[in-house]
Structure 1
Amino acid sequence: MPAEFSESAIDAARPMRVVIVGAGFSGIVAGIRFLQRVPNVRIAIYDANAGVGGTWFANKYPGLACDIPSHTYQLSFHDKTDWSSFYAPGSEIQAYLQSVVEKYNLWPFIRLEHRLTSAIYSEATGKWNLTIQHKDSDGNIQHLEDSADVLFTGMGGLSRLKWPDIPGLQSFGGKIVHSAKWETDEGDKDGPWEDTVRSWKDKRVGVIGVGSSAIQIVPALQPKVKHLINYVRGKTWISFPFLGERAEKLGMRKGEPNYVFTDKDKEAFKDPAYYKEFRRDLESDLNSIHVVTLKGHPVQEGGRAAFKADMLQRLATKPEIAEHLIPDFAVGCRRLTPGPGYLEALCQDNVEFNPTEIKQILPTGIETTDGKIDELDIIVCATGFDTSYQLGFPIIGRGGVQLSDEYKPHPKLYLSVALSKFPNWFQSLGPNSAVGSGSLLIVIERQVEYAVEATLKLQREHLKSMEVKPEAVEDWDAYLETIFSERCRSWYKQGNEEGRVVALWPGSCLHAAKALKSPRWEDYTYELLDGHTNRFFWAGNGTTVAEETPGADRAWYLSEVDFPPG
């Protein structure tokens, strides 16, 4: 063959090195799919935490649970039939993820307590050069170097906790904890949350926030403390439990916050046909909720009226709370949270709802702007995460471009998975990946599959790099003007009341799954390996691996026949 063409068979698999950052849902799925679908691949999965599970390992706060039905919050290819309850606790979800790692034998590829500290793209080699920080057996900080043909990150938008910007925060003389770092006493950070609050029965506790974490923490702590004050700055819609009518058919009493599956339920789920139908019906119903988030849609208006009536009924003994809590903005402007038990907890005698802005934190408690001072023993900051996507370490692309600069004034990605000037890098759960309804996991799976397909293209066509075109990024950014743009403070808008929505996909989770299924390779530019100039370098020496391998199947295409109906 001429020198400008490969001497290998057309389907000889070029060796590929893939580095995956994060061992939550995204990283675990990526590890499975890259090993399954990319031949001649070597992978490494780095995670800063001490265990797998991502947010489900890092978060251990009281009341942590899934806010959609457990059977809709699992991978499409790995069923769990013995969930303990309709809305599973966080510890059970983390255990599920660990079981996935074990079943698909990912442990040899995972490096825990290994934190990515820099990623620099080499234009000369077409590889990402990475620096990973970890501690050796003596506790000394070490840095290791790695490189990747493809970098896949699944770090999540809700993984960097944010302390509230309140004067005097560090002056408090009691315990102060963050919902995303639940540590209250030395040595108890890895135990069940119930163990961490056994000594709180005589304590006065302040909980700052009204996001999904605070809404779960307040009812969990209420019966275990002497007095609880919930400091609430904004308003939020509290829905009834998602698909609660399904749980009622199983036996949950109306108004009950959760349903514990019986042995009879779990035995029935062992029937594959029954389980498949049950799960499919649940997910179909969940995917029908998206219209509630569409501005001006009759279903949204109906949902708004129903949620308001429900909240008023549940707050009947303390109607003044409803005046402060029920929003004047549409459903979907903030994350819609079912919040089982939250409103009921606010009505208890030992709970106080304080909507006045906090002025400062004192050594003995909290002072609000009206001059009121609450003496407290413990402050819980359920104040969320840094959603600026400023990662705190350098990711440097082509031409020395810094990701932190590219993400100002707001992040711009292509289909939430790729970024111009950053070749061979694909993301899951990056900016505009979250969904306002439905299960996020099908989106994660499709983002992973997109990255796998891109990697196969790089391998198959002997490409040094593929990089999304700037005009494709701009076109997608223009499309991103969504219906979640009303005035309300939300992590969707980086914690602001107004501004660009940077968290949500501009459509339903089904819309995302369809959009990611068939990549538009024409939206990318490409470089060939080793300076080759003929785009058909990959065509090789005119043969296939089967022809060069004794005893190989040389009629493999007869095993791939797609028989038409007839």
Structure 2
Amino acid sequence: MGLTKTYKDGSTPVVAIIGAGFSGMCAAIRLQTELNLQTYEVFELEPDLGGTWWSNTYPGAACDVASINYQFSFEPNYDWSHRYAPQPEIWAYQRRVAKKYNLYEKIRFRTEVTHVEWHQDRQKWVLDYMNLATGEKSVMEADIVFSGMGPLRIPQIPEQFEAFEGPKWHTAQWNHSYDLTNKRVAIVGSGASAIQVVPSIVDKVKTMEFYQRTPSYIVPRRNGAYSKLWKFMFRHVPFFHFIAYKLNYWNSEATINIFSSKKIHLLPRFAATCLAWLYRVWQIRDKQLREKLTPKYEMGCRRIVVSSDYFPALAKKNVNVHTEAITGVKGNTLILKDGSVQEIDALILATGFKVQEMIPPKFVTGKNGVDLMAKWGKNPSTYYGITTPDTPNLFFLLGPYTGLGHNSVLFMVETQVDYAIKAISYMMEKNLSSLEVTQSACDEFITEMDEKMKGMVWSSSCKSWYQNDEGRVTALWWGSVSQYWWRLKNFHPKRFVGVQRI
């Protein structure tokens, strides 16, 4: 049977979408194309859409997922320049897709949603929002809310660096007006952003002081350019792009086994670890430097990064790699635990994001005045990371338990949106004003997640942003994208309770 696209009286629900990155864009497009629904609005904090790809414009910014899989399945791009697309191309793709579906007409830019509250008597969500350009505050009532506030949104900026008196910025807030040429530059952090920034600026700066907290596992980044012939075949040869798309997808899916601690998966884990080890030995001849850059934890516990120029960059003569903790900041000088000091001209913080705080405290108030974040506490309770009890008609895109460590997260976004579309269609078919997942359905899911995670490397002793403060994995799905898609292929009405429209 097809999807029900209106209530019996011909009306459609009013939908609010928070965020205009890939998640919010997908929700808006699917509402249009699957339900013919136009009664929606998108709220975006920034002056343009793009989310992560609007904010992160640092030198070398690029996706570490193959370009052919980092796109909407329903909107293929045949013109990626390289296997791994740089930030400008990804942002251009987003804008092109947005223009095709007329999303710009639906987006309120420079608008911050400050509070979202469920009113049981009216069966509505009330959104408080503010126009950041004018300061004007307004209110919107919506039947359904999509939260597209991604996890890589709020920069993690340690307080200790507030005392630094020179130019400083986070990689997600890059200062393009400052010329790094012949400057003494410090980079704090050694995650994916730093690994892309370092090779991009190392030949420009006079000296680079690189402060590493935890080394990353690095594997080769085979970033070949797509030739004109390849692009021609993608566009004009029947099924060629589709086959390449699927081959890349299943190749990434196969790597899920390297994150498993089960004996049956020891061989792929061993092979991946050996690849990273051989790559490190081959690219770093200096044994002392190699020791500093060698991880002391299980491969996959923290994010595995693809790069072919990071190790050579750190081996250059103008780079100093520090592993001692920074204990003090005075003027434009950093003081380390071993007593050494480094005077620098500019400080770059590649210190990551507050992944576990993607939804601010007191931002969502559900039924009976429940503060969603206070209720979650150390234990987020969601049904497949999409919705939660006490928050009817609220769908989280890339909520808890839906991140990935091995494949394109856009597959997860599409799967979640498609499931939400089925739920909205069911609401209209059954004439429901609200739909709420049961606590038992969430408990069943959380119990399974905890049990499955026991066999995955993310639950080992090492710390990562996949875990909350208690060491519990709350940001990741335990299995492959295919498993997630299969579980959400069909909508299960028995796991929800609804309220009839009056």
TM-score of the aligned structures, taking structure 2 as reference length: 0.93
State the alpha-carbon separation in 2 of the partners of residues 170 and 443 from structure 1.
37
Which letter does structure 2 place at the counterpart of 1:216?
Q
Deviation at 1:39, TM superposition (A): 4.6
Deviations 1:147-203 (A, max 9, x none): 11111111111111110242xx22222110101111253xxxxxxxxxx5xx32211
Q: Does structure 1 residue 488 correspond to structure 2 residue 462?
A: yes
Contact 2:8–2:431 (8 Å) recurs in 1? no
**Alignment match, 1:17:** 14
State the alpha-carbon separation in 1 of the partners of residues 485 and 243 from structure 2.
21
Contact 1:129–1:148 (8 Å) recurs in 2? yes
Secondary structure of the structure 1 residue equivalent to 2:172 = coil
Which letter does structure 2 place at the counterpart of 1:490?
S
Structure of larger gyration radius: 1
**Alignment match, 2:477:** 505
State the alpha-carbon separation in 2 of the partners of residues 152 and 68 from structure 1.
25
Deviations 1:313-340 (A, max 9, x none): 2112x22222232223222101111123
State the alpha-carbon separation in 2 of the partners of residues 392 and 113 from structure 1.
21
Evaluate the alpha carbon distance shift between residue 265 and residue 14 of structure 1 in structure 2; reply closer, same or farther with a 3 A threshold: same
Match of 1:99 among 96, 99, 102: 96
**Alignment match, 1:405:** 374
**Alignment match, 1:518:** 490
Contact 1:13–1:459 (8 Å) recurs in 2? no
Evaluate the alpha carbon distance shift between residue 396 and residue 142 of structure 1 in structure 2; reply closer, same or farther with a 3 A threshold: same
State the alpha-carbon separation in 1 of the partners of residues 251 and 473 from structure 2.
26
**Alignment match, 1:455:** 424
Regions of 4+ moved over 3 Å:
9-14
Contact 1:437–1:509 (8 Å) recurs in 2? no
Deviation at 1:410, TM superposition (A): 3.1
State the alpha-carbon separation in 2 of the partners of residues 262 and 302 from structure 1.
31
Deviation at 1:41, TM superposition (A): 4.7
Query: In the comparison of the two structures, how many residue pairs are matched?
Result: 487
Correspondence 1:376-391 to 2 at 5 A:
376-389=344-357, 390-391=359-360
Secondary structure of the structure 2 residue equivalent to 1:492 = coil
**Alignment match, 2:248:** 282
Secondary structure of the structure 1 residue equivalent to 2:141 = strand
Which letter does structure 2 place at the counterpart of 1:173?
E
Deviations 1:219-273 (A, max 9, x none): 11111111111101113211122xx3xxxxxxxxxxxxx3222333323322242
Deviation at 1:362, TM superposition (A): 1.8
**Alignment match, 1:144:** 138
Q: Does structure 1 residue 210 correspond to structure 2 residue 190?
A: yes
Which letter does structure 2 place at the counterpart of 1:434?
G
State the alpha-carbon separation in 1 of the partners of residues 459 and 499 from structure 2.
39
**Alignment match, 1:223:** 203
Contact 2:7–2:431 (8 Å) recurs in 1? no
Contact 2:184–2:344 (8 Å) recurs in 1? yes
Which letter does structure 2 place at the counterpart of 1:213?
S
Which letter does structure 2 place at the counterpart of 1:79?
P
**Alignment match, 1:192:** none
Evaluate the alpha carbon distance shift between residue 321 and residue 412 of structure 1 in structure 2; reply closer, same or farther with a 3 A threshold: farther
**Alignment match, 1:420:** 389
TM-score of the aligned structures, taking structure 1 as reference length: 0.83
**Alignment match, 1:164:** 158
**Alignment match, 2:303:** 335
Match of 1:67 among 64, 67, 71: 64
Evaluate the alpha carbon distance shift between residue 124 and residue 236 of structure 1 in structure 2; reply closer, same or farther with a 3 A threshold: same
**Alignment match, 1:528:** 500
Q: Does structure 1 residue 44 correspond to structure 2 residue 18?
A: no
Match of 1:313 among 261, 267, 282: 282
> Unaligned 5+ residue runs, structure 1?
1-8, 186-195, 245-257, 531-566
Contact 2:8–2:428 (8 Å) recurs in 1? no
Contact 2:356–2:465 (8 Å) recurs in 1? no
> Unaligned 5+ residue runs, structure 2?
1-5
Contact 1:152–1:451 (8 Å) recurs in 2? no
**Alignment match, 2:55:** 58
CA RMSD of aligned residues (A): 1.7
Evaluate the alpha carbon distance shift between residue 504 and residue 10 of structure 1 in structure 2; reply closer, same or farther with a 3 A threshold: closer
Deviation at 1:126, TM superposition (A): 1.1
Aligned residues: percent identity? Answer: 30
Secondary structure of the structure 2 residue equivalent to 1:91 = helix
State the alpha-carbon separation in 1 of the partners of residues 361 and 200 from structure 2.
33
